[in-house]
Amino acid sequence: ESKKIKNSAHIFASEMQEGFLKNITIEQELRKAISNHELFMVYQPQITAEGFYYGAEALIRWNSPLLGNVPPDHFIPLAEASGLMLKIGRLIVEMVCNDVNELHQKLQHPFHVSINISVRQFMDPHFLEHMLHVFKKTQTQYLNITLEVTENLFIEDLHYILPLLHQIRDMGIEISMDDFGTGYSSLSMLRQLPINELKIDKSFVDTIAHDVASAKMIQNIITIGKNLNMHLLAEGVETKEQKDILTTFGCDRFQGYYFSKPLPKEELFHFFSKHPFT
């Protein structure tokens, strides 16, 4: 019996070591990926309740020659932990600006783009300064930009975060609260936040058609958001049924595989050219 425990402890230790080594490899490769242009953005279309496309969420992709496609769920946390996130975050803003400018020109029509901003990135003392520098350098019209932040941002020092969010919003950049309902949140705090949009997390959307409790909860979130004059965007919408229920509840923006998967910029152009656009 004790031998068994010893063995499994040993296996556990070596698995941990393996995981650790794997993460070190990923981190090393990620460093190279930044300079080797292995990172790029894809864009998932966003649509209004009336059925018009108006924008897209920018999502990062990494195609590594050594590791293959590494999902962002995997490497973004590693980048955050290793300090690489600042560099990657800056690169993301730059890639999005370049892509969006190119698409604006081709489409002859502006559209919204949402950029995910990690907590580390937002807390960087030079975050705003750098972003404005990139907008200027790339001549990006930032009135069409939304920043997606998560609830976890609001665990940080509110005396620092709130004025900065107000400053960003006063410039005409919109703020969206991503994955709403999954993290640290307080409804009383929501009232004081300069937020334009709540993104209802996919985990709630997943169960909406089959679980009365979760449907009720979404309905409440939507009502609260609307009372605070916020847009409500449902993410991860995969079926017509989900979309219809959410529409009945008053949700006004949608995103998910039911409409489109995230697309490389060339495909986004074709998608927007073929579909009704605001």
The reply on whether position 116 binds ligand C2E by CB under 6 A is yes
The reply on whether position 121 binds Ca ion by CB under 5 A is no
The reply on whether position 236 binds ligand C2E by CB under 6 A is yes
Partner in contact with 96, chosen from ligand C2E, Ca ion, none, beta carbon below 5 to 8 Å by kind: none
> Please, which residue, 29 or 46, has the CB nearer to Ca ion?
46
The reply on whether position 151 binds Ca ion by CB under 5 A is no
> Please, which residue, 12 or 71, has the CB nearer to ligand C2E?
71
The amino acid present at 113, given as its one-letter code, is: V
The reply on whether position 116 binds Ca ion by CB under 5 A is yes
The reply on whether position 257 binds ligand C2E by CB under 6 A is yes
The amino acid present at 264, given as its one-letter code, is: P
The reply on whether position 148 binds Ca ion by CB under 5 A is yes
Range 196-235, binding Ca ion (CB under 5 A)? 201-202, 235
> Please, which residue, 15 or 241, has the CB nearer to ligand C2E?
241
The reply on whether position 92 binds ligand C2E by CB under 6 A is yes
CB atoms closer than 10 angstroms to residue 50: 10
Range 165-184, binding ligand C2E (CB under 6 A)? 178-179
The reply on whether position 200 binds ligand C2E by CB under 6 A is no
Residue entry with tokens 């009336």: 50
Residue entry with tokens 């195609």: 63
Range 31-60, binding ligand C2E (CB under 6 A)? 44, 58-60
Piece in contact with Ca ion (CB under 5 A), picked from 7-15, 37-45, 109-117, 239-247: 109-117
The reply on whether position 86 binds ligand C2E by CB under 6 A is no
Residues that bind Ca ion (CB under 5 A): 116, 148, 178-179, 201-202, 235
